[in-house]
Amino acid sequence: MNAEMPLLRFLLLPVLVAGLAFLASAQDEPDLPDGLGDAPELPAGLHADDEPADEPDLPDGLFDDAPPPDEPSEHRKTLRDILDLTGFLEVRGGLRTQRDNYEKDASIGETRLHLETETRGATSGIEAVADFLYDPVLNRPDIDIEDGQGWIDLRAANAYFTPVPTMDVKIGRQILTWGTGDLLFVNDLFPKDWVSFFIGRDVEYLKAPSDAAKVSLFGENANLDVIYTPQFDPDRFITGRRISYYNSTLGRIAGRDAIVQAQTPDAPFRDDEVALRLYRNIAAYELALYGYHGFWKTPVGRNAAGTKATFPRLSVYGASVRGPLRKGIGNVEIGYYDSEQDRSGSDPLVRNSELRMLLGYEQDLPRIAKDFTLGLQYYLERMMGRRAYRRTLPAGTPAKGRDRHVFTVRLTRLLWQQNLKLSLFTFYSPSDSDTYLRPNANYKINDHWSVEVGGNVFGGKHRTTFFGQFENNSNVYAAMRYSF
Amino acid sequence: MITQTNHLLAIGLFLVLAAAIASAGEDPGQTADQLTADEIVDNAMRVSYYQGADGSARVKMTITDPQGRVRDRELSIIRRDDLPKDEEDKNDEFLGDQKFYVYFKRPADVRKMAFMVYKHVNAADDRWLYLSSLDLVKRIASTEERTSFAGSHFFYEDVSGRNKEEDVHELLQTTKSYYVMKNTPKNPDLVEFAHYKTWIHRKTFIVVKAEYYDDKGEKYREYKAVKVEHVQGYPTVTRARMTDDRIGGYTDVEYSSVKYNIGLPDKIFTERYLRKAPIKYLR
């Protein structure tokens, strides 16, 4: 047998070569790309010892023989990890694009220092966020910590902890958001700052802080959020101080000459708010049920004397679903607004109950352009008890329609390696015949500096509709920010 | 004649058997040469994205534009293999669905932003974004995989792994150090390349280089592993560079504090921890 082995090997060689050649010809041999062109086209496997010109060197740490022992890299703790203070300094200015007889020409002019700090332990932490403002437009030196007026706007000051593994608690001033809408809110009844939104502050300022306790429970089948606000936190609504509006008592547009005087319910633990959300995911779909008990967030009522705006009692019951739909994300959200002080709809001083509904869809459009996203929404507000409303409407007051329909379109495009963001958000209401456009361009010059320009453009057939009344407030703005 | 044919058949059979025995008796490393292209790609996928049951790392990205201006990104990334319930993965062979969580630390304007992905091998991924300043959990459409990740030269797909089934893989060459693969997209309309080549280290299955070509056969994009470390026995790329001539410039990425098998609970990848970052696992 020993004598036969060399012979066998000798015989084997041509068989193997033939076999390999057969295999190589059986597969569709690709053309070698540029740079490998000089090499003859030989079947795979026969190049075993060749080192083609474009073959990469082995990187540090890789060897053809045995691997070296472990050498895990360690992260060096920097000062930044220990002292967690960040924020930005911003200058922002804006002008009305037309004269407004009731407001200044400057829509915004402020210098803002935003500071954030957070300290976290294993199961607890504290967070504080404050904005310091210098604002010659408003020239109101007194501070109101509730409505964010004055030189300081405290946006967060809270403590959070995890008393048991299935529960999170956050107590104090905090920003709260839930629901599925994009700049439209059905079940999110946390305070909004519409003034900031309309005069061209960063969109993060649309959310005003709540002074609340948030308790979150996490279960096997569902999760529950309970948010208790002991003292009602209204929206930072349009008062006329910065933005002119339609005043139904005067029957005309008004502004600084007729600042809305509101009676805000403010008795702690009596004028309180409770918001609930029960939610879970089923496959890729997010399902949620919502409940709210408190007050209308803007003063949609009037006192009997007609001298003051009021916040009538409100409860909201709602639901939402969000998840993949075709090539994008779809969402549906509904909410029933139970206006408790006017369930029949016959009290002209209190807004009627409403059914609110939202349908949304968002998709990116890579075939049209890279980093290009389209978002569409349809929103409905349907008045309940309209017959009673019409019957009791004071003579001379223009009657609202039963339905308010709003369509929104969001176009977002990222350019220049995502450093330039162009966006246009459009509200259009066919029932009110009014529009609101929010164009914006934001450019990140580098990791610290960014600049942005944008506008808030209102238009409408009538001066009494939601967006139409703000026509004289159309504005353009520019801002420069240094982040640290 | 009949006996002669039988005799030849017998010799043929003997030769085949002998060849098998002879090759088996040689350097065991040689058996790897018999891996199919798909097996090589599977191994490379495993080493790039699936080592251990889970993992975490700190990531530093340095983006250099064509004018030489530099932008930095700092983030933490955690990953968990989404093994079906009651299934075990003793040999770490799992190549299925995964969950990712990315927590941004720098620059200041994206600080505390969290990004969560449920990566599905056989369906579109689910993606969420959390914006802390608005306390907003946003759902993100995810049709586009080949778009910049955080403004860098890396694409989403480079971070979470391109689905193997989207390309046809061919073994072009086996060199002393590498398997040289050619990968051609099954649906060229969905991607910006005509094909790409990968140099996969034979010993470790680390992708050392990837070159992307356009339909004229011109190379326009290149990935290169610069440094490899062995962490808990797993070969791990800890420094790499992506160059893209179409965009211009390049991004260097550096991984530190790499850990495997940290026992990440599945519940980390939920809305609860989007809103409240799981700092314990992100350090």
Mean residue pLDDT across chain B:
89
User: In which band, very low, low, confident or very high, does the pLDDT at A306 lie, cut at 50, 70 and 90?
Assistant: confident
Residue with tokens 């969000």: A322
CB-based contact, A268 to chain B, within 8 Å: no
CB nearest to A62's CB, from B180, B201, B231: B201
The Cα of B35 is separated from the nearest Cα of chain A by a number of Å equal to: 12
Question: Beta strands A262-263 and B70-81: pairing type?
Answer: unpaired
Mean pLDDT of B20-33: 46
Tokens of A211: 């002074």
CB nearest to B19's CB, from A16, A27, A371: A16
The beta strand positions in A283-371, using DSSP E, are 285-295, 301-302, 309-310, 313-325, 328-338, 354-364
Residue with tokens 């004397």: A305
The Cα of B204 is separated from the nearest Cα of chain A by a number of Å equal to: 8
Residue B199 pLDDT > 80, yes or no? yes
Residue A261 pLDDT: 93
B150: left (phi over 0), alpha (psi -120 to 50) or beta: left
The Cα of A412 is separated from the nearest Cα of chain B by a number of Å equal to: 13
The SS3 assignment for B5 reads: helix
Residue A3 pLDDT > 70, yes or no? no
Question: Beta strands A210-218 and A167-174: pairing type?
Answer: antiparallel
Residue range A460-473, pLDDT digits in tens: 999 999 999 999 99
The span from the CA of A96 to the CA of A475, in Å, is: 4
Q: Taking CA atoms, what residue in A is nearest to B19?
A: A12
Tokens of B179: 């398997």
Residue A22 pLDDT > 50, yes or no? no
Q: At what angle do helices B2-25 and A4-26 cross, to 10 degrees?
A: 90
Residue A27 pLDDT: 38
The span from the CA of B116 to the CA of B101, in Å, is: 5
Residue A36 pLDDT: 30
To probe the interface with A, which of B77, B133, B180, B187 has the most A CB atoms within 10 Å? B133
Lowest mean pLDDT among A54-58, A147-151, A224-228: A147-151
Q: Where are the domains of chain A?
A: 83-483
Contact B124 A419 (CB under 8 A): no
The span from the CA of A217 to the CA of B283, in Å, is: 26
Reply yes or no on domain A83-483 having CATH 2.40.160.10: yes
Tokens of A378: 């349809």
Contact A61 B22 (CB under 8 A): no
Residue type, B49: Y
Contact A113, A87 (CB under 8 A): yes
A17: CB partners within 8 A, 6+ apart: none
Residue B14 pLDDT: 56
Longest dimension (CA), chain A: 121
Residue A432 pLDDT: 96
The span from the CA of A320 to the CA of A279, in Å, is: 9
CB-based contact, A97 to chain B, within 8 Å: no
Mean pLDDT of B107-129: 93
Contact A175, A156 (CB under 8 A): yes
User: Per CATH, the architecture of B35-282 is what?
Assistant: Clam (2.50)
Residue range B148-168, pLDDT digits in tens: 999 999 999 999 899 999 999
Contact A334, A357 (CB under 8 A): yes
DSSP string, A359-410: EEEEEE-TTT-TTEEEEEEEEEEEESSHHHHHHHPPTTSPPPPSEEEEEEEE
Residue A148 pLDDT: 61
Tokens of A20: 């390999």
Q: Which of A21-25, A26-30, B220-224 has the highest mean pLDDT?
A: B220-224
Contact B175 A69 (CB under 8 A): no
CB-based contact, B208 to chain A, within 8 Å: yes
User: In which band, very low, low, confident or very high, does the pLDDT at B145 lie, cut at 50, 70 and 90?
Assistant: confident
Question: Beta strands B98-106 and B70-81: pairing type?
Answer: antiparallel
The Cα of A469 is separated from the nearest Cα of chain B by a number of Å equal to: 27
Task: Compute CA distances B55 → B47, B100, B273, B281, whole Å.
Answer: 12, 10, 17, 9
Residue A182 pLDDT: 97
Residue range A25-79, pLDDT digits in tens: 333 333 333 333 333 333 333 333 444 557 888 888 887 765 555 544 455 555 5
Residue A175 pLDDT: 97
Question: Beta strands A309-310 and A262-263: pairing type?
Answer: parallel
CB-based contact, B235 to chain A, within 8 Å: yes
Reported residue count of chain A is 484
Residue B19 pLDDT > 80, yes or no? no
Dihedral angle at the C-alpha atoms of B32, B37, B39, B41, nearest 10 degrees?
Answer: 110
A319 versus B280: the higher-pLDDT residue is A319
Q: Where are the domains of chain B?
A: 35-282
Residue range A406-424, pLDDT digits in tens: 999 999 999 999 999 999 9
Residue B254 pLDDT: 98
